[in-house]
Amino acid sequence: AYVPKVLEEVSIDRREFQSFAINICLDDIPKAKELMREFVHDFARQLEAPSEKLNSTYNLNLQFFPLTK
């Protein structure tokens, strides 16, 4: 089975993977997207290090898509 290289090369204390499915009303999609944008903005604002303290670069991905037709 294919295992992403990061799982083999990066220890668990230096990475995080999460996924879940949620049932929502289609009318709430704009609110969900707004909350995701706020989260990304707050996440970066609180954690991005000043240039003199940089010692690592990470990637954060958020996906939000329907599992039903």
Centre a 10 Å sphere on the Cβ of residue 36 and count the other Cβ atoms it contains: 13
What pLDDT is stored for residue 38 in this prediction?
Answer: 98
DSSP string, 27-69: GGHHHHHHHHHHHHHHHHHHHPPPGGG-------------S--
Centre a 10 Å sphere on the Cβ of residue 32 and count the other Cβ atoms it contains: 13
d(CA 18, CA 11): 16
Q: Give the pLDDT band (50/70/90) at residue 1.
A: low
Tens digit of pLDDT for each residue in 18-57?
Answer: 899 999 999 999 999 999 999 999 999 999 988 888 899 8
